[in-house]
Amino acid sequence: MKKAKKTKTARIQDLLAQGKSQAEIAKSLKVSRQLVYGVARRTKENSEFVSKVFEKVGFKKPSKIIEAVEETNKEIGKLFSEAYEKYQTDDTVNHPPHYRAGGIETIDFIEAKDLNYRLGNVVKYVSRAGKKASDPIEDLKKAAWYLEREITARERA
């Protein structure tokens, strides 16, 4: 029987358990630090949840039920990780990789900052410069063009 390949989440959890730093893990697995941080945070939250359950029911050692809950959490984490990896790699129309660099999609940043069309394009072109097959200088010139238009519009107002 063929052994199933471990998910990135499982590999990250293994390295965290070995005491590796998040930076080391990100570098060795060639993943973003944000992904490693997220896995570490979820693993810690799950562990804290299990500890609180122990305290609440008065257990000092994990029972079979708690072990089953932990195993279920791991399985849920694997499913989440697999779905996240698919989301990260498969959707070049809705979530292209040149807009996801740095762990946050450009559109999410633009919307969070409530930027208008011109400033949104400045952020878009600056964030993708050098990450897409197009010429990075061309992207920066486009960003400058939109920024000039924004400056002109504000000067006229």
Confidence band, pLDDT 50/70/90 cuts, at residue 58? low
The pLDDT, as a whole number, for residue 144 is 93
Each residue of 115-132: pLDDT tens digit?
999 999 998 888 888 777
- Asked if 91 contacts 85 with a C-beta cutoff of 8 angstroms, the reply is no
The pLDDT, as a whole number, for residue 141 is 92
What is the DSSP annotation of 135-153?
Answer: -HHHHHHHHHHHHHHHHHH
The pLDDT, as a whole number, for residue 113 is 86
The pLDDT, as a whole number, for residue 117 is 94
19: left (phi over 0), alpha (psi -120 to 50) or beta: left
- Among 65-74, 94-103, 136-145, which is the least confidently predicted range? 94-103
Residue 35 corresponds to which tokens in the numbers above?
A: 């992904």
Contacts of 15 (CB under 8 A, 6+ apart): 24, 25, 28, 29
Q: What is this structure's pTM?
A: 0.40
The pLDDT, as a whole number, for residue 19 is 86
Contacts of 98 (CB under 8 A, 6+ apart): 128, 131, 132
The pLDDT, as a whole number, for residue 57 is 67
Contacts of 95 (CB under 8 A, 6+ apart): 87, 88, 105
Please determine, for residue 61, whether its predicted confidence score (pLDDT) is greater than 90: no
Closest by CA to 40, choosing from 25, 27, 55, is: 25
Confidence band, pLDDT 50/70/90 cuts, at residue 104? confident
Angle (CA) 137-138-142 rounded to 5° is 115
The pLDDT, as a whole number, for residue 35 is 86
Report d(CA 59, CA 56) in Å as an integer.
8
Each residue of 2-46: pLDDT tens digit?
566 778 888 888 888 888 888 888 898 888 888 888 888 887 777
